[in-house]
């Protein structure tokens, strides 16, 4: 799996291929108390044209729905830590 880690001038922490392995990683991180926001990346124009029946290629300018995403950007922040005693 190719992982892209970018310098802090970018707002997101990781950019990963959106696969079943990534989905399980996200689920594990959330169960450990991390708050994770996801934004889809990939072919915007292709899916925009499909959604609008060819009228516009601009409806997914900032991110695309996860069902169309080939990559996903992860924004990670630490939530309440779950501790078992």
Structure tokens at 33: 């108390």
Whole-number pLDDT of residue 1: 57
Q: How far apart are CA 72 and CA 79, in angstroms?
A: 20
Task: List the domain boundaries for the chain.
Answer: 14-78
Whole-number pLDDT of residue 79: 62
Whole-number pLDDT of residue 84: 53
Whole-number pLDDT of residue 59: 79
**pLDDT, tens digit only, all 85 positions of the chain:** 566 665 555 577 888 999 999 999 999 988 988 888 899 988 888 788 788 877 877 777 777 889 899 999 998 887 655 555 5
């Amino acid at each position: 799996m190719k992982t892209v880690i970018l310098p802090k001038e970018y707002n997101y922490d990781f950019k990963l291929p959106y696969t079943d392995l990534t989905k399980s990683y996200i689920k594990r991180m959330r169960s450990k108390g991390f708050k994770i926001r996801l934004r889809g990346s990939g072919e915007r124009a292709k899916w925009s044209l499909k959604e609008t029946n060819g009228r516009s290629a601009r409806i997914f300018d900032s991110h695309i729905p996860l069902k169309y995403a080939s990559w996903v950007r992860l924004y990670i922040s630490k939530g309440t830590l779950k501790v078992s005693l």
